[in-house]
Structure 1
């Protein structure tokens, strides 16, 4: 199995960054790679329980992903499962995601995405690109 780890420094405090990970109105500003919209969702990542999102690509294609939030410790981390759905809405291979936020020495924060148990190296490569693009959107949303 393959894993993805991405780390980014932000000038905002951990509380502010964590709010962008858990509050739906903030999540929708950055959730998904650049060029993606989220027309349908239940992105309650701030509480234990199920979540899902349907991402719409620039050509109208729909990508559905869902999982369960397993742990939320404000403003330090969120852990949730992740699985893409196929054209028949069946969930595929389940992996795990952890968002970590820690204070940085400059008064801002360090944000880390740890996506583990991906099916293979190709999946890890695709998720690396998707998460990197999404984090770029997060950085822009944070200002």
Structure 2
């Protein structure tokens, strides 16, 4: 795993390499069963309540912490280019401080590089620095969980993923 992380006042950026092909990387973001294996910060479990990956399609996830607290996040897909790009809006229903009670924008690029895929995420239109810091933690932690999920899937021979040396 090779991680580049940068955050601005109104956005969060991540870029990470995985030893999978484009289809496998894209499927990790677009298949509800795969999303439930990794999405959200460490200590949280995602439950997909709605997910229609197409332009205009809606998504809604329930995030549950180990203590039992839950929150909901939702949005709609703005752009869908299979195996290349996803863009979707994001609103936090209970955690209003994260999105300022408005739509934010998440964009995810999938680029083949060095025997794997570079996944780059940009979460924009955040209301303030505090929201950016919270979402920076959430995405960073989620990317760690994605790496672990891809490794477990590799052991099951569902998705091939190895960490670079």
Common fold: TM-score over 0.5 = yes
Partner of 1:42: 50
Report the RMSD for the aligned CA atoms in angstroms.
1.6
1:8-33 C-alpha deviation (Å, 9 max, x unpaired): 01111111100111111111111111
TM-score of the pair, normalised by structure 2: 0.79
Partner of 1:134: 142
Of Structure 1 and Structure 2, the greater helix share is in 2
Unaligned runs of 5+ in 1: none
1:33-88 C-alpha deviation (Å, 9 max, x unpaired): 111112452133x323111111011211111111101111010111000011138x
Moved over 6 A (4+): none
* Secondary structure at 1:19 match in 2: helix
Aligned residues between the structures: 138
Matches within 5 A, 1:1-143: 2-39=10-47, 41-44=49-52, 46-48=53-55, 49-86=57-94, 92-104=101-113, 106-143=114-151
TM-score of the pair, normalised by structure 1: 0.90
Distance 1:81 1:74 in 2: 17
Partner of 2:155: none
* Secondary structure at 1:2 match in 2: coil
Note if contact 1:86-1:92 (Cα within 8 Å) is conserved in structure 2: no
By relative contact order (CA 8 Å, sep 6+), the higher-ranking structure is 1
Unaligned runs of 5+ in 2: 1-8, 152-165
